[in-house]
Amino acid sequence: MIKKLLGIAPKPTEDGAFSPSTFALKMATSSKTDYVKIDYPNANKDSKLKVLMVCTEERNMKMANGNYFSTGNHPVEMLLPMLHLNNAGFDIDIYTPTGQSAKIEMWAFPEKDENVKTIFSKYKIQFENPKNLSDFVKNEMNSNTSYVAVFLPGGHGAMLGLPTNEDLNKLIHWSENKDLLMLSICHGPAALLAANINTNKNEFLYKDYKIAAFPDSVDKQTPIIGYMPGHLPWKFGEKLTELGIEIINKKADKTCHKDRNLLTGASPNAANEFGKLSATELLKKVNKASR
């Protein structure tokens, strides 16, 4: 009752889970983003070159206390980079593990941001009816020449299913062998754990890499304001660190980082800069390859 009066009680959802409290939404979300459109003078003109984005198809995360958190992919962390990639001339194909609809944290959607609303509308049909990652890996992956990057967007939903998905494991290793860029932001790097399926710590693809990601220490604090209805069942940063990755940021800030083909960002606050970095580096790579 006291938590409800203070506005820090997580809100129950129709399916028995919880979304963030009123107070948490005021603290952690905004009706508009800091997106700034960039005109890329060397924008890609080849419509065949695309970005493959893997979204979660799972909604509810069981927390350490047994409560369920209504999650998915974070709209700002997903849509701002998509805006920049589109402006740079790259269309995006949306995938989920089995072709079920992509789950999105709509409680974090910036309702007064016209740019975000426009890009969401453009891809709405794809979010509702994405491509099937399993089918792609089995039937198309090895012969595909159109994808120039893989994008693993953020949101706690990236921790659901993707870190243990064998098709994602194959996609990650394929992308590295093809010298593609790997883009990931906030909790998205949790999905990179899939690269370690059927291998051991010393063979982890991203061992000795440095990344920006949402800090475990901040996740530990969010239940206090009702952002989540309990503590996470596991810490993705801890698992990545154990495999040899170094997370360079301590705060959920605007930090972005490039290490070889891996581009990462720390939080929703980094989404605009991460989008610019992703678009710029992808254009460098594509234009260099075309010379």
Which tens digits make up the pLDDT trace of 138-194? Answer: 999 999 989 999 999 999 999 999 999 999 999 999 999 999 999 999 999 999 999
Determine what percent of the chain is predicted with pLDDT higher than 70.
97
CA separation for the pair 270, 278 (Å, rounded) = 12
Q: Is 55 a catalytic residue?
A: no
* CATH class in words for 2-31+49-290: alpha beta
pLDDT for 202: 75
Of the residues 53, 116, 185, 186, only one is catalytic, namely 186
Which tens digits make up the pLDDT trace of 60-101? Answer: 999 999 999 999 999 999 999 999 999 999 999 999 999 999
For 260, left (φ over 0), alpha (ψ -120 to 50), or beta? left
pLDDT for 6: 53
pLDDT for 4: 57
pLDDT for 5: 47
Which sequence spans correspond to the domains of the chain?
2-31+49-290
Q: Whole-prediction pTM value?
A: 0.96
| pLDDT exceeds cutoff 50 at 286 | yes
